[in-house]
Amino acid sequence: MTLLDARPGRPVRILKIADDQARAQCVRFGIGEGTVIDSAETLPLGPVLVRHCRQEICMGRKLAGRVLIEDTESA
């Protein structure tokens, strides 16, 4: 599943960011492949809001669809 499928308010693990530049930028923000983020939520009529370590990052839906995640429980 992708960031678009994340349930609001629940931590998820980032598995893969399928965009070179976005992957590098996310690592700078503190989010790498394997990082467990605090939560991700698709905003109504808007982008995806990713929360991690007191930061809030907005990611366009097209890009969020290329970020693979898994539930932290299933790992």
Partner 1 sequence: MSATTATAPCCPSPTVDAPAGARRIVLVGNPNVGKSLFFNAFTGLYVDVSNYPGTTVAVSSGRMGDDVVLDTPGIYGVSSFNDEETVARDIVMEADVVLNVVDAVHLERDLFLTQQIIDMGIPMVVALNMADEARAKGVEIDVEELSGRLDVPVVPTVAVRREGFDQVRAALADARPGRSDPELQERLAALLDRAGTRPEALLVLEADRYVSERTGVSVEGQRDAIYQDRRRRVDAVVAAAVRQPAGRSDLGARLGRALVRPLVGIPVLALTLFAMYEVIGVFVAGTVVGFTEGTVMQGHVEPFLRGAIERVTGSSGTAYSVLAGEFGVVTMTVTYILGLLLPLVIAFYLLMSTLEDSGYLPRIAALSDRLMSGIGLNGRAIIPMILGFGWITMATMTTRILGSERERRIATALMAFAIPCSAQLGVVVALLAAAGGGMIALAYGAIMVLIFGLIGLALDRVLPGKSTDLLIDLPPLRLPRPRNVLTKTYHKTWMFLKEVSLYFVAGALLLSLLEVTGALQGLQGLLAPLTVGWLGLPSAASNAFVMGFVRRDFGAAGLFDLGLGGTQILVALVTITLFVPCIASVLIIMKERGRAFTAAVWFGSVGLAFFVGGVVAKLAGVL
Distance CA 70, CA 28 (A): 21
Cβ proximity to partner 1: between 1 and 43 the closer is 43
Write the DSSP symbol of residue 30. Answer: T
Question: Would you give the binding string for partner 1 spanning residues 16-45, x where CB under 8 A is met?
Answer: ---x-xxxxxxxxxx-xx----x----xxx
The least CB distance from residue 11 to partner 1, in Å, is: 11
Q: Strand, helix or coil at 75?
A: coil
Q: Can you give the binding site for partner 1, defined by CB under 8 A?
A: 19, 21-30, 32-33, 38, 43-47, 49, 53-63
